[in-house]
Chain A
Amino acid sequence: MERCIRCSLCKWIPQVQIKSSDYASICPSIDEYNFHNYSGSGRMITALALITGKIQVDEKLIEIAYACPECGGCDVSCKYLNNLEPLEVIQELRETLVKKGYGPLPRQKLYVENTLKMNNPYGEPANERKKWLPKDIKLTPGAEIGYFVGCTSSYRRQELALATVRVFNKIGVEFQILKDEVCCGSPLYRVGEVEKAKKLMVENIEKIVKSKIKILVTSCAGCYAMFKAEYPKIIGKDLPFKILHTSEFLEQLLKEGKIKFKKEIPMTITYHDPCHLGRGSEPYPKWEGEYSEIIPLIEFPIPPKAKRQGTHGVYDAPRNVLKQIPGIKLVEMERIREYAYCCGAGGGVKAQFPEFALNSAKRRIEEALSTDATSLVSCCPFCKTNLVDGIEALESDMEFYDLIELMDKVL
């Protein structure tokens, strides 16, 4: 942490990618609160001040730790040349606060308690998890492909769950849904409740393995990032099944010629990269080696050590699918892919800091409006909730679709 030079690169998209003064920022938190503490660097410095005893835990510190969507934008920009881990420090700070009994914040805590009681953060009855599922949807018990619905799609964005299973049926995909799916653990993990999240992780893995699922498909970016990156890190081993986001799954089926479009949607769209599908889904690289002073006092990792810098997330799959939908014209915003601006909802922010989440969404919508697009498309139920809130707050005519909803329309 002492290697942070307070350069503020973490506040901006990678400098070489800046194309205008309007859309150069990467960090929703510093955009909202302005004090340096609310940046990747500021949080590292705050954590350093805490562990060196210069400050104690107080309300302000807790707020700083949690008023961050953990979007990882700071991490990408910092690691353009530096070797620091701002995102890991933010997560560690939250975990430390939890261990000391200070975190998470009350509304986030409610989500944690709900999840532990009801298997979902919304406090909805666990036995109503599949209430959205119509009887006419064909499921194939024992199928190799499993659809992991996720809590938000099960209870709050049921239209996305419905679109997903409809699309699968239309394409002729044989799939199953877990009998008693539980939360992926994201709402717990992101607020620092690792041990509680781990229990859910283990439970899910056991259920998936027991159901003989070989490929787990999810339309939720948050669940995807958990399975793809965090599960192996927390559990300490590779998962015994493959995890795909629906965009990857559909891209694969398109490549294999298994999808035939029946309709056309004449529409100019722009695509919002969900942080957890992009930056957050990059697995943690494994490295075994040692540091050697080949030049005195300069440590070199032998063998070279890869950095996790959000660049190997899922960026192309949704675009490749969108480009093949008849009638769709994709125009890009300035901040895309690994330097996309966050919608502002993640990391427990929407629950605890709704105004901040909404302001971030508005900033993103304004960027979308600066393109020629009339519709905004993304691949995440939580992004949908927040971005739709942003559209409404701006009283904009922009329409929002999840990729799976568009697919449902054209098949």
Chain B
Amino acid sequence: MELDDNIYKKLVEIVGEKNVSRDLVIRQCYAYNWGNDTINIKRGKESSMFTDTPIAVALPGSTEEVQKVVKLLDEVGLKFKAQSTGLGPWTCASSEDVMIIDLRRMNKIRKIDPKNMYAVVEPYVTGGTLQAELIKLNLNCHMPGAGPMVSPLASSTSMCGPGFTSESTGFSGRNVLGTEWVLPNGEVLKLGSLGLNNNPDWYNGDGPGFSLRGVMRGASGTKSGLGIFTAVAIKLYPYPCDPKWNLSGVSPYYEFEVPNFMKFYILSCKNYDVVEQTMYRISEEEIAFMLWSTSNLALGALFSRNKAELMQLASKATFFKKPLVVLITARTKREFDYKNYVMEKIIEETGAKDLISKGRITPGTLAYCEALRSMMGFHGFLATGSFQSSFGGIDSIAVSFQMVKVNLPIKRKYTKKNLLPDDQGESHFITTYEWGHYAHAEMPTMYNVNIPKTRKAMVDYFDEADDAALYNHLNIPFFIEGDELHDKWGPFVCNYNVWLRKIKETFDPNNTSDSGFYISTKKELEKKKKQ
């Protein structure tokens, strides 16, 4: 599909010639993303890393430019998909009449308010750059598990955003405060205290009047299906330990000077019931910076820097049994001593074994650094170059472990047939939320994008896992998105799809905001059916 000359000229007037392109070479690049191979199979298309080619790509540099672009597209009947740092298939167009709005030029930290503990960021500010500035003020932010190079704005407005430190920092959706939101008709809606008539500021995400946070992002974000967020305030936290950041050596074998008051525990539990009990206890005591359960193989990957190290750790994996990773941090020695004392008591109480004190595994110093900067998720790519996650619901710790148990036989069917890499079916990531009983559970599954049968197996496995979550009442997986899946799940979950569609129709009657990973208006749905 080609962009009309007049529309192109208008776009050039808005963003400048060098910030808009309708060259196929540029557009095709934006059709590529991690995970598109499986999305394409699911949509009945060729298993390619490329999906629909967008009609153009624009790089607006301000909220005003975003408004003008969106207004123009709404007027001419084209669609848009906004992307910040652009990781994942959700950032791609879902049809050829979609223009990509790449927000890379909007990269400012607008404000850090240390007293009221929030930061206002634009879409292309990354977690890593924001955290680097916050450390100077002895502050920290929640870092999404996807990594420090992703956008906290995108994570908090448009995704779910759990992370490795969710035990103490929640998830991105919980940390969003005031929001500057360009609606699909180009108008700006200011949410939370930013919308106050008197002294508007960013400190609160709810009100005035009804809170629109739920409408704005729902459970796991609209993936640019309901407008574009051009700035957001996110909640900050005290930096968890001594804020020094010293590395030596050369990449990737840096040595990190472990700050005062940080200590890893890697607990080996005899079964999932013990892991679950230990997680509840640690969370109740509110002592951990990180608290998550994973599989043997994943643990090996998370604490390896290359395949050789992974191979070595994998050979020891049987020692780990059911591992639980805890990171204790504190800002004073007294606090640190207290937390470690409580940890020792819980270990005694639950019968878990600390693999570090027994010398079974020794995290390198860089593991402490990566824990702070959220680089741990990248280790998931070490073995095969790609992974994706099934399940992904938010529920109690106990329900999260039910997900693991339900998933085991499904996954094993595929690993036994050599269709997916053999992780014993146990790969999972469960992190608790905010020192409470709630948790996030997902089942990361490795696959090799260069082996077509594993791509197909991933899709089949995902479908089975989704059905298992549905029929076992295990919460809505976080990749239930798009019309087909919402309309499948809705009738089982209070007809939420009906309400979601009403929100879409109210805020975006022309379906200008690409609904491929959200929900379409009825009119759009009918149009698609006719096609």
Q: Are B128 and A80 in contact (CB under 8 A)?
A: no
In the complex, what residues of B have CB within 8 A of residue A81's CB?
252, 305, 375, 378-379, 381-382
Q: Which residue of B lies closest to A14 (CB)?
A: B251
Q: How far in angstroms is the closest Cβ of chain B from A303?
A: 8
Give the docked Cα–Cα distance between A264 and B305 (Å): 45
Q: Are A60 and B32 in contact (CB under 8 A)?
A: no
In the complex, what residues of A have CB within 8 A of residue B129's CB?
18, 20-21, 24
Q: Are B85 and A8 in contact (CB under 8 A)?
A: yes
Give the docked Cα–Cα distance between A233 and B384 (Å): 28
Q: Are B28 and A3 in contact (CB under 8 A)?
A: no
Interface string of B15-27 (1 = CB under 8 A from A): 0001101011110
Q: How far in angstroms is the closest Cβ of chain A from B498?
A: 35
In the complex, what residues of B have CB within 8 A of residue A58's CB?
23-25
Q: Are B32 and A6 in contact (CB under 8 A)?
A: yes
In the complex, what residues of B have CB within 8 A of residue A46's CB?
25, 28-29
9-residue interface stretch from B215-223, B354-362, B427-435, B445-453? B445-453
Q: How far in angstroms is the closest Cβ of chain B from A11?
A: 8
Give the docked Cα–Cα distance between A82 and B454 (Å): 20
Interface positions of A from 1 to 52, Cβ below 8 Å from B: 2-9, 11-12, 14-21, 24, 33-37, 42, 45-46, 48-49, 52
Interface string of B28-63 (1 = CB under 8 A from A): 111011100100000000001110000001010000
Q: How far in angstroms is the closest Cβ of chain A from B255?
A: 11
Q: Are B57 and A55 in contact (CB under 8 A)?
A: no
Q: How far in angstroms is the closest Cβ of chain B from A47?
A: 10
Interface string of A60-82 (1 = CB under 8 A from B): 11001000000000001101111
- With a 10 A CB-CB cut-off, give which of A24, A297, A312, A337 has the most chain B CB atoms: A297
Q: How far in angstroms is the closest Cβ of chain A from B279?
A: 27
Q: Are A17 and B25 in contact (CB under 8 A)?
A: no
- Asked if B105 lies at the interface with its beta carbon under 8 angstroms from chain A, I say yes
Interface residue tally of chain B, by bracket? 35 or more
Do A15 and B86 form a contact, CB below 8 Å, given A21-B129, A81-B378?
Answer: no
Do A82 and B381 form a contact, CB below 8 Å, given A15-B375, A49-B32?
Answer: yes
Q: How far in angstroms is the closest Cβ of chain A from B385?
A: 4
Interface string of B235-279 (1 = CB under 8 A from A): 000000000010100111110100000000000000000000000
Q: Are A311 and B418 in contact (CB under 8 A)?
A: no
- Asked if B314 lies at the interface with its beta carbon under 8 angstroms from chain A, I say yes
Q: Are A304 and B308 in contact (CB under 8 A)?
A: yes
- Asked if B117 lies at the interface with its beta carbon under 8 angstroms from chain A, I say no
- Asked if B149 lies at the interface with its beta carbon under 8 angstroms from chain A, I say yes
Q: Are A36 and B30 in contact (CB under 8 A)?
A: yes
Give the docked Cα–Cα distance between A77 and B254 (Å): 13
Q: Are A21 and B133 in contact (CB under 8 A)?
A: yes
Q: A14-B254, A76-B251, A311-B253 are in contact. List 13 more A-B contacts (CB 8 A).
A: A2-B37, A6-B34, A16-B369, A20-B132, A45-B28, A49-B32, A81-B382, A82-B385, A297-B448, A297-B454, A298-B446, A298-B448, A339-B251
Interface residues of B (CB under 8 A from A): 18-19, 21, 23-26, 28-30, 32-34, 37, 48-50, 57, 59, 85-87, 102, 104-105, 109, 125-126, 128-133, 147-149, 245, 247, 250-254, 256, 297, 305-308, 311, 314, 366, 369-370, 373, 375, 378-379, 381-386, 415, 418, 420-422, 446-451, 454
